[in-house]
Structure 1
Amino acid sequence: MRLWRIFCIYSLLCFCATTHATVNVIFINPGFDKQPSTDVQSTGEFWYKVSNIMQAAADDLNITLTTHFANRNHITMKALIADAIKSKPDYLILVDEKKVLSDYLTTLNTHDIPIYFLLNRPDKLKLSTLKQRNVHVIGSVVPGNQEAGKHLATLLYQQHSKVNSGTMNLLALLGDYTTPAAIKRRAGLANFLAEHPDVTLVAEDVAHWSRQQSYTKTFAYLQTVPSINAIWCANDAIAFGAAHALNAQQRRDTAVVGGFNWDSAPAEDTYLDISMGGHVLLGAYALLAIYDATKKPQQFAIQHEDLTFFTQKKPMLQPLIEHINDGELGKINFLKFARSQANHLIFTVENLSKELKNTL
């Protein structure tokens, strides 16, 4: 009888341990932990918000998430990856910003740790090389950056047509020359320009995702090319810098400005005509993919995914956008979006917005 009781207690302990076992995930975030919205050097709080949303999802999914910020320093990023590998997490989430990680990973013993790329991933050739070098890349998720780049240009064109009957003279401010997201968004802009010979691309430059660099360059371009009446920007930080330059020259109402990220305006007199966003939520999607794979691996194997996820900022999404910018998405139960759950919700901007509204 005593042995039977011991067996029962042991079985119960094993069951509890299995039921409550957590998945350990490390995320190497390429951005900053947090920057004040008044910081003119700011590249925006996009990456901080990605991690904030991921933490809200991790809390719902019983995932232990550890985030390390590289502060836009690729040497720091590499060191953080090496340290993360030493701690042997169940999964490692990386961002191939400026394409610096592929070659580096081949120099490490990654101990067969499953690696998932978020928002920026290596190209097919690099992924093949990583596989040959026994780097265990299990999947990725990226938004439709090229489609979004074209869509932003289209929306600016439409907005320009409402307020100006003349030619659209466009200034394009890119993020950088190497990050996959930046390259794809620029390709989308190129597609738009090829379809609209009536639009003049008067200048194109790189602002390195920075509000201050954008302000400095836009201010100069407005003086040398006063005909500029539309500014396409690779992110909202760049767009706010451009809008600030227009304000400084008392020309804000003469040009339409748009970017990406749904960022809050850094000042009351700074606004954007267009902002595309939603991709900030894909870190939560990555954790959902990991969660589903651990629950039902045969049915929900992790894979490489390209999602059309960018959505124009509009009034119906304002509560969701405000909660993202305020870091208050804990009210959403992300477990409801796990495909391994019965009657799950499809992970879309609209459904996340509805779910949030149901909690308010």
Structure 2
Amino acid sequence: MVFGGDGRHRLAVLVREGVLPLELGLVHQLFGGARSADGAPLYEVVSCGVEPGIVRTDADFAVTTAHGLEALGAADTVLVPASHALDETRPGDGPVPAALRAAHARGARIASVCTGAFVLAAAGLLDGLRATTHWLSCERFAHRFPTVRVDPAVLYVDEGRVLTSAGEAAGIDLALHMIRRDHGAAVAADVARRTVVPPHREGGQAQFIARPVPSTRGPSTDAARTWALQRLDRPVTLAEMAARVSMSVRTFTRRFRDETGMSAAAWLTLQRVERARELLERTDLPVDRVAERAGFGTAASLRAHMRTVLGVSPSAYRTTFRGPSGQEPPAAPEAHRA
């Protein structure tokens, strides 16, 4: 038996020739580090190849997998890291696409990192869905898979049972998102702290696309973001944020987008949603008080923003992710740097 059958979420990592070692390692590091309140591991992570044995990576070493594609048959989630040597050229036939289709038909969640999205698309799992991959490969992806709505500007896309992420480091963002979705923001934040990565990165991969950015010279907007995070429960205006770093509103607006990949208003909304999530998980405050503490003012406004960002109401989120401690979170969340 590949999986131990102890009730943990079973995650199979599909290792193919030319796999990127960083992606393979980060999956084990992040999902393997997720723990319950009593310290028990929440995921059982197993690596598998097309068949058991030695698999070369794109570095000067190989890895050994003890399991073949049969591991996908018992997995709750299948994750496909990138293999640049194969992803953009391999046709959509053979044992891997068939195994992925079978796992998906059985009800498993399927996810990819970087150009692993080509494998999911070749298997037909992304038809009619929105997806992403590394920005350098988005044009080739869109040309090869015209039925998939490729988004080159985001770090990851969650379509429910099929998820895709951008370049290698975006696999961290995707993994934390999946952990957050499975077990709540508190568990994901703990994994992020242990790994020394931000629990949520602002902006999308558009911020990494090479282009002239003359406005990045000079002062950063970081101090304004830190200042805003300390007063999310109060109104924060663009003019106030610009004044904190001695910039005109026009310069601040341009530089803020260059540094985070989004507008200041969109960034504030995301930070307030994160604050609301913490309060819903860790306190017994009624929804209207959560709305006030997170800076949304009214419960109706909080509900609207949470449905837009997370797809659920505050009450539904609390029912799903209510933490066991019931303790108040810190006065302000940590800054999420892009």
Fold-level match, TM-score > 0.5?
Answer: no
Larger-gyration structure (1/2): 1
Whichever structure has more strand as a proportion of its residues is 1
TM-score, scaled relative to structure 2: 0.30
